[in-house]
Structures are given as structure tokens and as C-alpha cells.
Amino acid sequence: MSQQTQVLPEERSPQITLEVADTQLSIGDLNDLCDATEAAITDGGGFGWVNVPERTVLESFWQGVIAMPARDLYLVRLDGVISGSAQLKRPPRNNEAQAFSAHLRSFFIAPWARQYGLAQKLLHFIEEQARQGDIEVINLDIRETQTAAIRMYENAGYVQISTHPYYAKVNGKIIPGRAYYKHLA
């Protein structure tokens, strides 16, 4: 029996890029973002959806997000493919008293892109951008079952404010939640 040894190309580290989304997503990027979202929801979600919606609903959702002036959409790419995202929601203009703060929402990395450090890099990038936009405090809330994300936020200096015993309902089961803040100064 003859055996063949294949010489594999030299290992290279994956390329990670971070960006604030433009006011319009290309068709390719919109597709990648929807693919990543579907995979994350199927894997257990964590940002609202429990069941994967129709593709057209997802597309409209993301197009709506980038059209909203009070929301910044952040994207992370792994080798050019959108593999995760998050949003910073600023208070409405009339809320001058809280204009220095923003709410971090819908933070996720697609299951296929996890454990490469993307989430940590994305969080750091968002905080840098927030500082530059005169945001001093980031608030967030999260299901208690999202243990990986909780660990990441706590390691990054997010301080727990409270727990909410009736935070979310997933497949008929009530799940508690937690609220956190981070002072960026």
C-alpha cells in the first residue's frame, strides 16, 4: 500500500477587521450578516430572537438598524466575512441628562468564528469609538445563561448593577437577567 503525504501551506493567522458600518450594506455583506445572525440564533441566540425569522425579516431588521440615526452598528470580519456585530444605542436627543451614556445591544459572534478573540477585539473597538464620540458610560443587560459573555464583560471591567428575575422568556421558561455598566474614563 502506498501512502502520500500532503504538504499543507504554511499556517497563517486569520485576518480580523473591525469597522463601524456604513449607511448602506452591500448585498454580500447583508447576506453574511444574515448568515451569522441565523447561526447565532440557532445556537441559542442571546439577542432577542428565540426562533430564526424569515430571511426577508432579518434583512429588513439589519437595514432598519443601519438607517437609525441613534444607533451605531459595529461589525467584525474574519478573513473578510462578517462574523459578528454589536450596536451602541445612544439616548434620544431630548435626553440631555444621559447623552454621555449609551446602551450596548445585540452583541454576538457567529458560532464558526468563536474562540479567535473576535469578541474581545470588538468590545475594545466599540469602547474606543464610544470614547471618541464623547460617550463616558456603557450600559448593557444580558441573560444570566449567557455565561461566556458575562465572563468577557466582567473581565473587561463591567460592573453588575442589578439582577432581574423575570428578564426573558425562552420556550416558555423565565430566565433571569443582569444589568451592567462600565465607566470608560
Ligand X SMILES: CC(C)(COP(=O)(O)OP(=O)(O)OC[C@H]1O[C@@H](n2cnc3c(N)ncnc32)[C@H](O)[C@@H]1OP(=O)(O)O)[C@@H](O)C(=O)NCCC(=O)NCCS
Quick one: 21 or 118, whose CB is closer to ligand X? 118
Does 74 participate in binding ligand X (rule CB under 6 A)? no
Closest C-alpha among 11, 31, 32 to residue 77: 32
Q: How far apart are CB 105 and ligand X at their closest, in Å?
A: 7
Does 87 participate in binding ligand X (rule CB under 6 A)? no
Answer for which of 30, 39, 137, 152 binds ligand X (CB under 6 A) is 152
> Rounded to an integer, what distance in angstroms lies between the CA atom of residue 54 and that of residue 70?
26
Answer for which of 107, 125, 158, 180 binds ligand X (CB under 6 A) is 107
> Rounded to an integer, what distance in angstroms lies between the CA atom of residue 23 and that of residue 33?
15
State which of positions 27-66 bind ligand X (CB under 6 A). 40, 46-47
Q: φ and ψ at 111, to 5 degrees?
A: -50, -35
State which of positions 117-146 bind ligand X (CB under 6 A). 117-120, 142, 146
Q: Which three cell numbers stand for residue 177?
A: 437577567
> Rounded to an integer, what distance in angstroms lies between the CA atom of residue 137 and that of residue 179?
13
Does 149 participate in binding ligand X (rule CB under 6 A)? yes
Answer for which of 29, 32, 90, 108 binds ligand X (CB under 6 A) is 108
What is the sign, positive or negative, of the torsion defined by CA atoms of 44, 123, 116, 30? Answer: positive
Does 180 participate in binding ligand X (rule CB under 6 A)? no
Q: How far apart are CB 90 and ligand X at their closest, in Å?
A: 17
Give, for 112, the enclosing helix (H) or strand (E): none
Does 114 participate in binding ligand X (rule CB under 6 A)? yes
Rounded to an integer, what is the distance from CA 70 to the centroid of its chain? 17
> Rounded to an integer, what distance in angstroms lies between the CA atom of residue 51 and that of residue 105?
18
Site of interaction with ligand X (CB under 6 A): 40, 46-47, 107-109, 114-120, 142, 146, 148-149, 151-152, 155
